[in-house]
A and B are shown apart, each in its own frame.
Chain A
Amino acid sequence: MSQKQEEENPAEETGEEKQDTQEKEGILPERAEEAKLKAKYPSLGQKPGGSDFLMKRLQKGNYKSLHWSVLLCVDEMQKYFDSGDYNMAKAKMKNKQLPSAGPDKNLVTGDHIPTPQDLPQRKSSLVTSKLAGGQVE
């Protein structure tokens, strides 16, 4: 009986309901927790396993999402406009100089065929894992 009341007024916390919640905590802690959650987020849908929930998970690669989005393309995973945008974001994170837009002007161009050794490396530093006794960066 008290359960029905709760489902009808999920966002409200009447005095009566509070008492019911306390009673229920002894019986079904999960239900009490559910009530707490619904009180905080009234717009939360009924089924957490809905398709939009899972689609968010597929994009993010895990279940971590509090907010449900209906549209497939609206996601919280960081998207980059293009690879240039990605490289700039990475460079900012590492707090290093931005990668040059074009080939270094000091290098002779057109005179020789570049080899892999001539090209700048994508990853700037490879630090040994601390598990293997690597130094702090």
Chain B
Amino acid sequence: QAIVWDEYLTGPFGLIAQYSLLKEHEVEKMFTLKPGRLPQADVKNVIFFVRPRLELMDIITDNVLREDRGRSPQRDFHILFVPRRSLLCEQWLKEQGVLGSFIHREQYSLDLIPFDGDLLSMESESAFKECYLESDQTSLYHAAKGLMTLQALYGTIPQIFGKGECARHVANMMIRMKREFPGSQNSIFPVFDTLLLLDRNVDLLTPLATQLTYEGLIDEIYGIQNTYVKLPPEKFAPKKQGEGGKDLPTDPKKLQLNSAEELYAEIRDKNFNAVGSVLSKKAKIISAAFEERHHAKTVGEIKQFVSQLPHMQAARSSLANHTSIAELIKDITTSEDFFDNLTVEQEFMSGIDTDKVNNYIEDCIAQKHPLIKILRLVCLQSVCNSGLKQKVLDHYKREILQTYGYEHILTLNNLEKAGLLKLQTGGRNNYPTIRKTLRLWMDDVNEQNPNDISYVYSGYAPLSVRLAQLLARPGWRSIEEVLKMLPGPHFEERQQLPTGLQKKRQHGENRVTLVFFLGGVTYAEIAALRFLSQMEDGGTEYVIATTKLINGTTWMKSLMEKLEPAPF
């Protein structure tokens, strides 16, 4: 058969099934979904792997209608919805008259995709917009289903904590689903002690700030898609002697980044300023290792050296790659613009001058910097001020609309709805209280040997991760007042475990908490949670799940109105 792929799905699927696996199942050809006629292929069956989206249905209709029915052999069509069938889509296909052309219409419930040993994502990029702008809870339903699957595999989670409206909905759905399937009580010893459900809108600040961990910066600058990153090729050209005239590669260099790569696992969550010393130490170790060959005297020693060679070569190539990446990042982080931007961000986060129009932002608008950068900054100011005063808000709005075009009023409206850029209500700014109580701004941050999660933003501790940290110890009772200032209810639920499965933690054994971010999570927050996991007397280890891996730019983009390009 042949598979026609929705481009968006190829990434996530690549994480769980390689082409070789599909080939084993008689998949001969693969095509990308696009309008027009389907390419020639001598197959009996054509399967469409798509998300249940109406625009894609239009393309499929186009494909099907243009199929030459006279050709032989005739091809059969099938459609596989990921993650679920959509009656709306099928209705649409019916109205176009092509629904009958599909022999099989199925769904493949790919809810949570593993990205690493401690990270799962639904890769639902519209989840935040749907939940918070459109009050559409479908992605929450998928999240709940994903959690049910997780519990079927790893045992019922005895304790559920949550903060936020969406968290409440997901918890309710989970409890209801459990009730409706009484036979699902299984005898698996629970892996997770606690589930913490967090709404993204409980912490709107963190994704807006520029991440400063190694992985976070790679994502901010180059964008990590399904653990792959595309980088400018110049620094990766192999340096061969005597081939000076060789042309530089023009295709971007594609690298996979996950914890299977030893060096990457070591540096990914560090503050970028601490990466350089790790890389230089590694360089010395690797050089020394290669020098060993001169000391190998006996056959046994030589044999041992040779057996370790592939590993050393892999380590050396890994080091070369990351040294190049670090150089690329350093070019950006040492630029004046990056520094100025970061300065303003940190001023806002530490509560300085959040109530007046900021000169740097104005200058950037005047110089017509990319709109997303501007939006991140003004939203950051608004969140750090619990909303802007009318005069300040109007000023920014006016400048943005005059400089970038009036049609952006639609985006500004979305941002207001999401709570990112709004009027201050009641004349009160809660942020300083929240900041002080939760210790969100730490002046004495140590980037090289951190002792607190605030190292991931060089001073700012992600609010969401602080909440997780305080939940474990000493518990949320101690921050009741502050919790009330954050949007949405907070709650606790317990799920019954059959007797015999109740776990008694040994002394020194860590609890395991699954933190589910509803609406997106950044790599910096993941790094912060990993930091907590490996703290000596932390007591808790964290596994992270989310609807989508995001950074400030991709998140902002998902909230912007899709505008048609200007006609002329």
Q: Do A and B bind each other?
A: no
**Hey, which bits of chain A sit against chain B, CB under 8 A?**
none
